[in-house]
């Protein structure tokens, strides 16, 4: 059976020793009074919920799955409802929400840390409350005051949950192809008719109401994405007291049968003239959609951080206790019939790959969470704008690079267990199945790569990328006189220069042939991912060096993991640069008939 222990020591290292969040939050008026003790207490209690309530129903929920009944209602696995009730009773849904609507107002960086633990414990269950944040953010940004008053307190408390109903069978990622219609009613509402697919948490028995945010077309809508509008469509229409009232004409037509996250109901949702209300301006639903999608993309990155962490914990425990063969360099435990497999170099490679990717991803995503806090709460308009650009630039990296690595980590963890990883009892094969979807939904990782290179880098002439380059340069200048840091700063500086050169080269090629951008996008994302992780590991190494004389093995391990990253994982960036430079010809010259 698998186990999970919240990695509070490393989480605290990132929050307090890398990011110094207490000092950073003092500059943000809404968070100025939040101190280290408060953050640590929140995460300790959150860790208990994750380990003691959510984690024990992860495997059983995967085996049982969700059940759709003849009336379209859906039952979640045994224990899910009780866990959700406990989650709501403890106030966890309100953690990072606005106090004006009943939220606790804690910073996003703390919310990110909680998300990591929730997803380590039970990704499928965590998606039910997690998807509400996209609906909450969209209504906060674009909802009317009446819509906010009706829906936000219930979403914040967790008594109601939310979904994103975006894609359709014929559309996929190309939302300009959606066909769902919105016909105006005399009372100011709209009749929503159409079918949506792949709707996570679309129907369930956890909350009293489910609030669907639905993309649809008005009768006069222009073609393509310019003709998309957003509507709020509740499962139960709120009554005069703001409680769940009459049943709306929206029903789960089917549950998708999928390879992972079985405990989450991924639904086909049918809208048959359902009552909906316009959110934002007509034909401007794409703007609101991106608020939801970016929330989801950052959340999916946290899903993979969580899965990679719990998979690593279990493969490490196995490697320390599984006896098999003898060390190549001589017997290590003569009193045993064989040595534990952790003595073998390739087992260590698999473990250290997981450790290096998980710890860099944690540092990066918490750094991104703090950037989001600065984007929304910093008193300086320039600081807010700069951090908004950094978050926009790096959101596809959070989603794409981390989920790619997360899948690799879960696969390596399963490999460490050998045959025991392949069978369901160990729990590792579930983590592999669950992690695989993270590379697909909320925009496949190819879409993330195209977004990064096309919309976030080339579209503004590299302005956002240069802002991140400035952040890197500040770190390099800070440690320029420290010889102990050269083994970390030199490769970071070299990669930063190579990224600048590569970006200019791709821009020139893409101006002549747009397929060049498409051919370079995926390897380019991995290059930027390694730039970000190199930055994260330099930052972590500097913090560890400051404490290395303490004798605490934690800091020794941190330095050794940083060295492993630069020795064994960082070199992938060279191969990816070569791939990105290789151009589109080898991909596009073959006629489709020859495949």
**Residues with catalytic function:** 442
Rounded to whole angstroms, how far apart are CA atoms 236 and 419? 48
Residue 493 · residue 413 · CB < 8 Å: no
Rounded distance between C-alpha atoms, residue 15 and residue 22, angstroms: 8
**Residue 114 vs residues 33, 52, 108: alpha-carbon distances, Å:** 20, 14, 10
Using CA atoms, how far residue 202 sits from 103, 110, 229, in Å, is 24, 27, 20
The two tokens of residue 509 are 């090629």
Residues in Cβ contact with 244 at an 8 Å cutoff, skipping those fewer than 6 apart: 160, 208, 209, 234, 235, 236, 238
DSSP string of 334-361? TTSSS-BGGGSHHHHHHHHHHHHHHHHH
Q: Give Cα 562 to chain centroid, integer Å.
A: 23
3 state DSSP class of 268: strand
Rounded Cα gap, residues 276 and 190, in angstroms: 5
Write out the E strands in 174-220. Answer: 181-184, 190-200, 209-216
Q: Write out the two tokens for 43.
A: 């995460």
Q: Widest CA span of the chain, in angstroms?
A: 84
Rounded Cα distance, 97 and 100, in Å: 9
CA atoms within 13 A on the CB side of 174: 6
Q: Are 557 and 493 in contact (CB under 8 A)?
A: no
Length of the chain: 595
Whether the CB-CB separation of 245 and 237 falls below 8 Å is answered with yes
- The owner of tokens 């943000």 is 28
Strand partners, 279: 230
């Amino acid at each position: 059976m698998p186990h999970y222990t919240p990695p509070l020591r490393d989480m605290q290292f990132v929050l307090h020793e890398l990011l110094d969040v207490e000092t950073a939050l003092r500059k943000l008026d809404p968070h100025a009074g939040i101190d280290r003790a408060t953050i640590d207490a929140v995460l300790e209690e959150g860790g208990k919920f994750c380990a003691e309530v959510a984690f024990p129903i992860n495997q059983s929920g995967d085996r049982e799955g969700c059940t759709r009944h003849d009336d379209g209602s859906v039952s979640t696995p045994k224990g899910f409802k009780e866990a959700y009730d406990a989650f709501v009773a403890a106030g966890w849904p309100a953690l990072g929400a606005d106090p004006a609507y009943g939220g606790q107002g804690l910073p996003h960086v703390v919310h990110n840390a909680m998300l990591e633990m929730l997803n380590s414990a039970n990704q499928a269950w965590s998606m039910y409350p997690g998807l509400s944040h996209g609906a909450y953010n969209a209504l906060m940004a674009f909802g009317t005051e009446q819509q906010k008053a009706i829906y936000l307190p219930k979403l914040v408390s967790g008594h109601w949950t939310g979904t994103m109903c975006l894609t359709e069978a014929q559309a996929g990622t190309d939302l300009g192809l959606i066909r769902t219609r919105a016909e105006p009613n005399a009372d100011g509402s709209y009749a929503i008719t159409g079918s949506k697919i792949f709707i996570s948490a679309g129907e369930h028995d956890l909350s009293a109401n489910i609030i669907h945010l639905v993309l649809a077309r008005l009768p006069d809508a222009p073609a393509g994405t310019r003709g998309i509008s957003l509507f709020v469509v509740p499962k139960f229409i709120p009554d005069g007291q703001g409680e769940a009232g009459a049943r709306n004409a929206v029903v789960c037509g089917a549950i998708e049968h999928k390879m992972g996250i079985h405990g989450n109901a991924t639904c086909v949702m049918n809208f048959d003239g359902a009552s909906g209300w316009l959110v934002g301006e007509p034909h401007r639903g794409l703007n609101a959609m991106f608020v939801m999608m970016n929330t989801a993309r950052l959340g999916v990155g946290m899903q993979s951080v969580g899965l990679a962490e719990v998979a690593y914990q279990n493969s490490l425990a196995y490697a320390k206790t599984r006896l098999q063969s003898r060390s190549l360099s001589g017997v290590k435990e003569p009193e045993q019939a064989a040595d534990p497999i952790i003595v073998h170099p390739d087992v260590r490679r698999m473990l250290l790959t997981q450790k290096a990717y998980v710890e860099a991803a944690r540092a990066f995503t918490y750094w991104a969470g703090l950037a989001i806090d600065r984007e929304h709460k910093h008193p300086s308009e320039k600081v807010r704008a700069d951090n908004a650009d950094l978050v926009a630039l790096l959101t596809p990296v959070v989603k794409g690079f981390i989920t790619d690595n997360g899948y690799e980590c879960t696969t390596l963890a399963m490999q460490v267990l050998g045959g025991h990883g392949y069978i369901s009892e160990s729990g590792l094969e579930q983590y592999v199945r669950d992690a695989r979807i993270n590379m697909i939904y909320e925009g496949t990782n190819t879409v993330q790569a195209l977004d990064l290179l096309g919309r976030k880098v080339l579209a503004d002439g590299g302005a956002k990328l240069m802002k991140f380059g400035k952040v890197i340069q500040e770190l390099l200048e800070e440690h320029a006189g420290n010889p102990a840091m050269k083994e970390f700063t030199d490769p970071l500086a070299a990669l930063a220069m190579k990224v600048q050169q590569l970006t200019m080269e791709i821009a020139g090629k893409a101006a002549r042939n747009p397929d060049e951008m498409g051919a370079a996008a995926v390897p380019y994302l991995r290059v930027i991912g390694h730039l970000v992780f190199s930055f994260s590991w330099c930052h972590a190494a500097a913090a560890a060096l400051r404490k290395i004389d303490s004798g605490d093995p934690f800091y020794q391990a941190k330095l050794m993991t940083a060295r492993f990253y630069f020795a064994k994982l960082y070199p992938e960036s060279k191969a990816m640069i070569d791939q990105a430079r290789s151009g589109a010809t080898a991909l596009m010259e073959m006629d489709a008939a020859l495949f």
